[in-house]
Structure 1
Amino acid sequence: MKNVLLFIVHFFLIAMLSIIPILIILGAIERDPYYTAWIFLSVFLGIGALLYFATIVSKLINKGKTQTLEEKRYAEYWNNVKVNIPK
């Protein structure tokens, strides 16, 4: 259920980002307050969407840098293992 809600939110945010240029052009042509209000709404939602995606990307980057406890134990084990190499 959580994944479905996230998909809906992502779809809505991407749709709003794609609508911004169209609304700006319509607002510039019509000079109507209705379009101006939609432009401001779209710009604020677009900024929010960009910040949201930036946080997702930064979390993915940070997740890639951190090691799990199992990986740390594995690395510590192999660092402590001494291999006898004949000369």
Structure 2
Amino acid sequence: MTPVNQASATVPPVLSTIQAQKDILVVGSEQDYPPFAIGMTDDTADGFTVDLWKAVAAEAGLKYVIRVLPFHEILQEFKEGKID
């Protein structure tokens, strides 16, 4: 396993493709599902998955916004292309 500080900073091809099509990625986070997702609004998004996404985005130089929604709405918005 590669230590985090030695991991490659290259953006995976899927993220590169999405970012090339959009200036800002829209990331879905489930409402209040501790410890993975904490918070009920976009402004209060927190938790393990949010922290992980922030670290990946910072390392890869990705611009994003986080949308906090109930899980079934995240799936629907993804299907409709509203969430990346």
Do the structures match in fold with TM over 0.5?
Answer: no
TM range (shorter): under 0.3
Structure showing the higher strand proportion among its residues: 2
User: Relative contact order (C-alpha < 8 Å, sep 6+): which is higher?
Assistant: 2
Asked which structure has the greater CA Rg, the reply is: 1
TM-score normalized by structure 2? Answer: 0.26
TM-score normalized by structure 1? Answer: 0.26
Structure showing the higher helix proportion among its residues: 1
